[in-house]
Amino acid sequence: MTPPPGKQLKPIGAPPLSGIAGGVRYSLGMVGLAVYPPGTTFGPRQLRDYEFVWIEAGDVIWHPDGGQVPAPAGTLLLCRPGMRDGFTWDPRHPTRHGFLHFSILEGQDRLPPVETWPLSRSLPPGDIFRPLLHHFRWLWQSRPDGWEGLAASALHHALTAYFADAFAGADPLPPPLHPLVERVAVGVEKTWTGGRPVPLSLGHLAQLAGVSRAHLARVFRRELGTTPVAALRELRLSRAASLLARTNLPVQAVAEATGFADPFHFTRMFTTRFGQSPRTFRTALAAGADMPPIRIARVADLARRVWR
């Protein structure tokens, strides 16, 4: 049975180490990884502290207080003090999971009531939880100066993300580019490597792809929502915006570095794209304006391929 909100059972063997984050003082327990042979079980046990358990591999059943919670790979569990639980590890494959023990010494009232805490969450691709806990593990093992505060911050971030089910981190990998678009990207990357990103005609791009201009234009329109020439122009202008934002290069040098031999043509194209001249754009960014993204999502995917 879970203790009433605000009541914390004293963990057995908890180290006398603690840190504060978000107004909550945590006792920092052990963190590690474990692997179990197929068909093994664990428990029942009586918990004296909190424990995060995240399943890296295996199809697990968790038994909190006599219940059953399926926990396939990618599941995050939060065991709590006073709970009697056990585990049935994958019957056919080895189970691999990470664990982190902690206690809450002060500031429990700053967290949601314990009875509202979910038993499990599903971790999305690119989640922020596992990097946080890997960092916690490194801090626990290495113990640099001030590590307790850093570890408490990582734990607090993980815990509050768990409450909110807000684990999204890096975007999942985008779907692969169409083979013809990929072929164009390879050719453009080679053409632009070691020099400035010069403009390339539709005929040149079609030659790189080994298809007709009309067919390449249809594929780009269907896959990226724009034409091949417009897609590369967007890449060059976005690169120009980045150089204006992150370097002290003169505007003319930025124009030359992004393949615009005529600075007046560059200013006209840049103003059409961003709604302001390069100089006004740079001034606005210096005053705190946000950097505009590439407008078409799949062109951004192309950018990651060409500029890698």
User: Would you state the pLDDT for residue 296?
Assistant: 65
Indicate if the pLDDT at residue 14 is higher than 80. no
Please identify which residue in the block is written with the tokens 């995060």. 52
- What would the mean pLDDT of 65-71 be, rounded to a whole number? 93
Cβ–Cβ < 8 Å for 78, 52 = yes
- Residues of the chain within CATH 2.60.120.280 domain(s) are 18-164
Residues 259 and 280: their CA atoms lie apart, in Å, by 21
pLDDT tens column, 214-262:
999 999 999 888 999 999 999 899 889 888 987 889 999 999 989 998 8
Percent of the chain exceeding pLDDT 90 equals 51
Q: Which of 24-38, 72-86, 176-190 has the highest mean pLDDT?
A: 72-86
Task: Please tell me the distance from the alpha carbon of residue 37 to that of residue 96, in angstroms, as a whole number.
Answer: 9
Instruction: Report DSSP letters for 97-114, one per residue.
Output: EEEEEEEEEE-GGGS--G
Question: What counts of helices (H) and strands (E) characterise the chain?
Answer: 10, 10
Alpha carbon distance 308, 306 (integer Å): 6
For domain 179-306, give the fold: Arc Repressor Mutant, subunit A (1.10.10)
Comparing CA positions, the residue from 28, 70, 72 lying closest to residue 51 is: 28
Name the most confidently modeled range: 30-39, 128-137, 153-162, 196-205.
153-162
Domain with CATH 1.10.10.60 in the chain: 179-306
Please state which of the four CATH numbers 3.40.640.10, 2.60.120.280, 2.60.120.200, 2.60.120.260 is assigned to the domain occupying 18-164: 2.60.120.280
pLDDT of 170 over the 70 cut: no
* Residue, of 306 and 152, whose pLDDT is higher: 152
Q: What would the mean pLDDT of 166-170 be, rounded to a whole number?
A: 78
- The amino acid occupying position 225 is G
Q: Which of 90, 98, 94, 89 is nearest to 55 (CA)?
A: 98
The two structure tokens encoding residue 306: 């060409």
The model's pTM: 0.60
